[in-house]
Amino acid sequence: MRITVFGASGRAGRAFLHAAARAGHECTAVVRDPERLAGAPAARVVRGGPFEEGGVSEALAGADAAVVAYALRGGRRNVPLYSRGTRTIVDAMRRTRVSRLLVLSEAAYGPHTAGPLNRTVSALYRATARPVIRQREEQDAIIAASGLDWTIVRPVILVEGPAHGHRRAPFTPHHSRAPRTTYADLAHVLLDALDDPATYRRDLYP
């Protein structure tokens, strides 16, 4: 498949590029700074910001699917990357008639937490990251109303490390623990869902 990856220079984006290349897919990486790809394989690199409509549409031309792996860090938490950035992509997907959308989000708010431990972790997160949660909620609403064949992947804790093997991500939040998912395993979850209609318009919890 031909896949356009937004947020390709982040840890999740780079892990996905490596896994997709090994699986024989052709990826377009959308980045502000190509040097931050750090050698991750991409058939094409489109340089541009997340709110540049023309560049986003150009990156989606000819694609079969889009992966959104945005991550806000540090002092950038008030940048509307999740909300406005996702809106820009969704609008461009409609224009370019790309229907398959996979989005990396999180399982740390609202109905995406379950069990006492996970709810405690979520409460601590809410106390420190309210602007991010508001953006995530806006992002959820944009995706749900998009009319696209979307899947949202919601890990609890992402860590560095090797892939531990394929496992099907459940459709319901984890109850008993806050599982750690490596970026390499996350990439395989995204790949497994890529052409699986059973995951369309559903949340996955690796």
With cut-offs at 50, 70 and 90, classify the pLDDT of residue 75.
low
With cut-offs at 50, 70 and 90, classify the pLDDT of residue 130.
confident
By mean pLDDT, which of 14-28, 101-115, 165-179 is the weakest?
165-179
Q: What is the DSSP string of 20-71?
A: HHHTT-EEEEEES-GGGGTT---SEEEE--TT-HHHHHHHHTT-SEEEE---
What does the pLDDT read at residue 157? 85
Q: What percent of the chain has a predicted confidence (pLDDT) above 70?
A: 90
What does the pLDDT read at residue 165? 74
Choice between 174 and 143, residue whose per-residue pLDDT is larger: 143
What does the pLDDT read at residue 78? 75
Report whether pLDDT(121) > 90. no
Calpha distance 155→56 (Å, rounded): 26
Calpha distance 69→166 (Å, rounded): 20
Report whether pLDDT(122) > 70. no
What mean pLDDT is predicted for residues 2-23? 97
What does the pLDDT read at residue 38? 87
What mean pLDDT is predicted for residues 70-90? 86
With cut-offs at 50, 70 and 90, classify the pLDDT of residue 107.
confident
CA distance between the termini of the chain: 23
Calpha distance 13→19 (Å, rounded): 10
Give residues with Cβ within 8 angstroms of 54, minimum separation 6.
none
What does the pLDDT read at residue 20? 98
Report whether pLDDT(128) > 60. yes
What would the pLDDT profile of 144-162 be if each residue is shown by its tens digit? 999 999 999 999 889 999 8
